[in-house]
Amino acid sequence: MQNIEGDLAEKLIFNRVASETSHLYFLTDEMEMQGEARPPTLPPPFENLNYASAPKVTDNVNFAKDGVSRRFMTSYQNNVLFHPKIAAWYNKEISDIQEIRGQFNFMDSTQGYVYYFKPGSFPTYKFEDLLTGKVPIDSLKNKIILIGTDTGKFPKEYVSTPYSHDVKAMTSIEYHANVFQTLIENKAPYKTPHWVMVLITFLISFITIYTVFKLPPAKGLFVLIATMISLAVIYISLFSILNIWADFSHPLLTIFICYYFFIPYRLIKENRISWEYIQRHKLLKQVEELKTNFISMMSHDLKTPIARIQGMTEVITSDSQPLSVAQHEAIDHIKSSADDLLGFINSILQYGRIESQNLELNLHSKDINNVLIEVIKKHEFFAKVKKIKIQSNLEPLFPIQVDPDLMRQVFSNLLENAIKYSPENSTVSIESKEENNTILIDFKDQGIGINNEDLPNIFMKFFRSHQVKISNIKGSGLGLYLAYYFTELHHGKITVESHIGKGSVFRVSLPIN
């Protein structure tokens, strides 16, 4: 009972009641009142009441300066205070003060945190109704009855709680009721030990630093937000299920501090990497330009002497003077070597044009079959030397818009490969047809075939399969790269099917529109 005043208090015949029951107490806030001394200011009619010390604990100095009542005292200077004494009547388990959950020592006292029950958990009656018998006495049996005021006039009548910092959040009497109930149910929140909090904070800072340095920004942010949410969910569950109170502000603060502290380092690191990348890219571009210029210059300079060699061999062979067989052979060798060299130089020149993005399509309406016939004719001699039969099966086609020079080169490269990589006395067949608005041209050989591992690489520049490299078949590794590139320029594609030792089929598909 606290602060009973006014007419209503006088109406209570306290002296009589107090002498009949030993369980009626006057609670006092003042610590000096404990022990044997009577509170000097105890007014009549309270003089016969038992009294006990039950201070209201408010955080104004040590814990926080927010005036919130979070705690209760169980003992002071080794004297057990009123709350645990009364609660022990109801819960024998806590008659030993050591059994009270979540206690900690603070200065000269032992204290615990109040478990606040929902507002309205404790029935409240008007004093007047009690006196006039409107409240059935039976409903108060075996209950702790707290009497107090709620006049709204004095701040002392109220406490602020962790759930509401309002100065009139709860009456002092309800606070005491919460303390009693916390003790009776022995469910005072248990605060996580300091070392656990240090460990969690350390873990959180590690996760944050790792996230900042190792994860991409969006993913990192997602991980940090997910960490915060998970932590909040864990903490709320711990509090509501097990009554364990862990400090959320420290890990939260750690995330923000670590994030803002380390993010500039990451930015500096990334800036340096991108600066280095730009520099390297610039250098590579210069080197690439130099290489392309050099290649095209060299190729141009080589083309003239080769043309001269080819011209001179023509002159010698067409001369009326008969040549010996050996001379004929020599001349044939010179001619084929010059042809090879010219083909190689042309490929390099085309490659240079592609790399310097100097290639433009020169479109004409052309019957693809005519281009194929030209190409077959050009390769007949080469096929004959290898005793290879070229079979063609060309369906009539409508003319389409193509760059004839580029398509000639595509077909030449494919036919040349088919002959080059086929054994003597085999057949190379060329088919053309139209299907679903697409012209399909197949080059089929009975040659060495291509390994499954090599298949994805054959259209890469300068790629030559291992078995070809160790053979004496000549090549630059540019033919299929150029063929693929030129076909793509026409919005077409080249596909290949091949079986090692059995042969390959290269299919060029060109859209009609």
Residues that bind ligand ADP (CB under 6 A): 413, 417-418, 421, 445, 447-450, 458, 463-465, 468, 475-481, 504
Q: Return the residue nearest ligand ADP (CB atom).
A: 475
Residue 110 or 465: the one with the smaller Cβ distance to ligand ADP is: 465
Nearest approach in angstroms of CB 328 to ligand ADP is 28
Nearest approach in angstroms of CB 473 to ligand ADP is 7
For residues 73 and 104, give the distance between their C-alpha atoms in angstroms, rounded to a whole number: 10
Residue 208 or 504: the one with the smaller Cβ distance to ligand ADP is: 504
Which letter, b or e, does each residue of 373-406 get, where b requires 16 or more Cβ atoms within 10 Å of its Cβ?
Answer: eebbeebeebbeeeebebeeebeebeebebbbeb
Q: Say if residue 258 is exposed, middle or buried (CB neighbours under 10 Å; 0-12, 13-18, 19+).
A: buried
Residue 74 or 465: the one with the smaller Cβ distance to ligand ADP is: 465
Residue 109 or 413: the one with the smaller Cβ distance to ligand ADP is: 413
Nearest approach in angstroms of CB 414 to ligand ADP is 7
Question: Quick check: 149 and 4 in contact, CB under 8 A?
Answer: yes
Residue 371 or 458: the one with the smaller Cβ distance to ligand ADP is: 458
Nearest approach in angstroms of CB 445 to ligand ADP is 5
Nearest approach in angstroms of CB 465 to ligand ADP is 3
Residue 1 or 418: the one with the smaller Cβ distance to ligand ADP is: 418
509 membership: H or E segment, kind and range: strand 503-511
Residue 184 or 348: the one with the smaller Cβ distance to ligand ADP is: 348
Nearest approach in angstroms of CB 466 to ligand ADP is 8
Nearest approach in angstroms of CB 289 to ligand ADP is 24
For residues 405 and 392, give the distance between their C-alpha atoms in angstroms, rounded to a whole number: 21
Cis bond leading into 45, ω under 30°? yes
Residue 126 or 469: the one with the smaller Cβ distance to ligand ADP is: 469
Residue 59 or 431: the one with the smaller Cβ distance to ligand ADP is: 431
Residue 251 or 475: the one with the smaller Cβ distance to ligand ADP is: 475
Of the candidates 205, 186, 202, the one whose C-alpha atom is nearest the C-alpha of residue 194 is: 202
For residues 315 and 301, give the distance between their C-alpha atoms in angstroms, rounded to a whole number: 22
Nearest approach in angstroms of CB 458 to ligand ADP is 4
Nearest approach in angstroms of CB 470 to ligand ADP is 11
- Mapped onto helix, strand or coil, the DSSP state of residue 272 is helix
Nearest approach in angstroms of CB 406 to ligand ADP is 15
Residue 477 or 511: the one with the smaller Cβ distance to ligand ADP is: 477
Read off φ and ψ for residue 212, nearest 5 degrees.
-65, -40
Read off φ and ψ for residue 73, nearest 5 degrees.
-105, 135
Strands 50-53, 244-245: pairing is unpaired
Amino acid (1-letter code) at residue 504: S
For residues 346 and 332, give the distance between their C-alpha atoms in angstroms, rounded to a whole number: 21
Residue for token pair 């959180």: 204
Question: Quick check: 506 and 492 in contact, CB under 8 A?
Answer: no
Nearest approach in angstroms of CB 452 to ligand ADP is 13
Tokens of 24: 């009626």
442: CB partners within 8 A, 6+ apart: 429, 430, 431, 432, 505, 506, 507
Nearest approach in angstroms of CB 272 to ligand ADP is 40
Of the candidates 94, 91, 97, the one whose C-alpha atom is nearest the C-alpha of residue 109 is: 97
Residue 31 or 342: the one with the smaller Cβ distance to ligand ADP is: 342
Tokens of 241: 């299920």
The per-residue DSSP string of 15-45 comes to HHHHHH-S--EEEES-GGG-SSPPPTT--TT
CA distances from 17 to 43, 50, 477 (A): 16, 11, 113
